């Protein structure tokens, strides 16, 4: 099975702070579902942003879907991200002036590499139904609860059927019933398409659903590779 994520000798620091993230080596295979766990401030969200090309390491290489995202120009990085990576941000990043449906369809509005068709709209509606927000498609984010906004973000991440989904606390604002619906939607989608899912979570009830769990305690300010639990 090929690696969809390859990290070597990664070093990252926030200017003006004592934060350091060092990852000697990390490999994630195509089709694998992985959960990142660890204390707040250990670098879980930062690593997702490095994988997405949103942040750039001080040194080392970060290869995602066959491209070194640490060296891409801004426009190239954006196109690569939109086409190959589904992102669920911790703060959702919904556009307030767009309806729920148009927020889900947003990747197709911002990239010329993606063509919006009736089939894509149907898929958006099916995804919304799978997480129980199909009755909210005409609403705007300001009229949604935090949990509903979170589910919109999950649908948007899955819409393009990307080979990699990066989800930052995708169940953090959900009640128990909707939490499992979202987890099922993410993992079932990955298994069906043999795509890769990498999720940051503090919810240890979810961990049995993942192929691999990586503890960030040995990434932060360390030269050792992370402990891996199966």
Residue ranges and CATH numbers for the domains of the chain are: 3-229 (3.40.50.300)
Sign for the pseudo-dihedral over CA of 26, 29, 32, 33: positive
Give the model's pLDDT for residue 217.
Answer: 79
pTM of the shown model: 0.90
Is the distance from CB of 42 to CB of 219 less than 8 angstroms? yes
Sign of CA dihedral 87, 92, 97, 99: positive
How do residues 123-149 score in pLDDT, each as one tens digit? 999 999 999 999 999 999 999 999 999
Average pLDDT over residues 17-35: 92
Residue 15, pLDDT score:
85
Q: Determine contact, residues 48/226, Cβ cutoff 8 Å.
A: no
- Give the distance from CA 157 to its chain's centroid: 7
**pLDDT higher than 70, residue 72:** no
The confidence band for 41, taking pLDDT boundaries of 50, 70 and 90, is: confident
In which residue are the tokens 């079932």 written? 188
Residue 226 has pLDDT above 50, yes or no: no
The answer to whether 183 and 160 are in contact (CB under 8 A) is: no
Query: 12 near 20, Cβ under 8 Å?
Result: yes
Q: What is the mean pLDDT of the chain?
A: 89
Q: What pLDDT is recorded for position 88?
A: 93
Please indicate whether residue 211 or residue 18 has the higher confidence score (pLDDT): 211
Q: Which residue has better confidence, 68 or 119?
A: 119
The stretch 191-196 carries a mean pLDDT of 95
């Amino acid at each position: 099975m090929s690696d969809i994520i390859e990290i070597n000798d990664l070093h990252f620091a926030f200017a003006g702070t004592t934060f350091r993230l060092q990852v000697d080596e990390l490999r994630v295979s195509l089709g694998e579902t992985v959960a990142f766990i660890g204390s707040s401030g250990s670098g879980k969200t930062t690593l997702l942003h490095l994988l997405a090309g949103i942040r750039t390491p001080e040194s080392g290489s970060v290869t995602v879907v066959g491209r070194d995202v640490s060296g891409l120009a801004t426009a190239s990085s954006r196109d690569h991200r939109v086409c190959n990576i589904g992102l669920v941000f911790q703060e959702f990043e919904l556009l307030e002036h767009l309806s729920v449906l148009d927020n889900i369809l947003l990747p197709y509005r911002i990239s010329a590499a993606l063509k919006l068709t009736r089939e894509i709209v149907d898929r958006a509606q099916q995804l919304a139904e799978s997480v129980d927000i199909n009755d909210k498609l005409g609403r705007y984010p300001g009229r949604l609860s935090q949990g509903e906004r979170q589910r919109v973000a999950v649908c948007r991440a899955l819409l393009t059927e990307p080979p990699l989904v990066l989800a930052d606390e995708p169940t953090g604002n959900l009640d128990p019933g909707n939490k499992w619906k979202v987890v099922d939607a993410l993992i079932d989608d990955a298994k069906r398409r043999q795509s890769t899912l990498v999720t940051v979570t503090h919810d240890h009830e979810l961990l049995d659903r993942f192929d691999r769990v990586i503890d960030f305690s040995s990434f932060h300010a360390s030269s050792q590779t992370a402990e891996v639990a199966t």
